[in-house]
Amino acid sequence: MTEQELEDLAIVEALEDLFARERRGLLEGDLEAVVRLADRRESLLARVPSLRIGRPVLERLRSSAARNAGLLAAAAQGVRSASARVRSLIEGPPPLNTYDMNGQRHQLGGKGSATIRRL
C-alpha cells in the first residue's frame, strides 16, 4: 500500500470509529458526548472528497452518517417533546369554557388559577 492509501484508510477508520461512538452516545442519551465529537466529525468529513476510496467504502460511510442523522433527529424530537411537556406542567391546562343554565359563559382554570406543583 502506498502512503496515500494508508492515510486514506486511517481517515476512513477514524470516521467509522467516530460514527460508532456518535451512535452509542445517541442511543444512550449522552448528547454531551455527541456534541464533543462534532468538531472532529466536521474535520474528518471535510477530508472525504479528497479520499481515493471505492464506492462501497463511501456508501458504508454515507449509510453510517444517515443512520446517525436519523437518530439525531429522533433525539431532537424527544427533547422538544419533553420541553413541551414540562412547559404544560408548569403552565397548567388551558382554560375550560362552560355555560350555566342561563347561557352565561364561565371560564374554569387557565392562567391565574391555582396550580398544584410537585417539588
The DSSP code for 110 is: S
pLDDT, one tens digit per residue, over 77-111 is 999 999 999 998 888 878 889 999 999 999 887 66
Q: What is the pLDDT of residues 38-66, one digit of tens each?
A: 999 999 999 999 999 999 999 999 999 99
Task: State residue 92's pLDDT score.
Answer: 80
Q: Name the helix (H) or strand (E) containing 94.
A: none
Q: What is the mean pLDDT of residues 20-26?
A: 97
21-30: average pLDDT: 95
Cell numbers of 25, please?
A: 452516545
3-state secondary structure 66-90: HHHHHHHHHHHHHHHHHHHHHHHHH
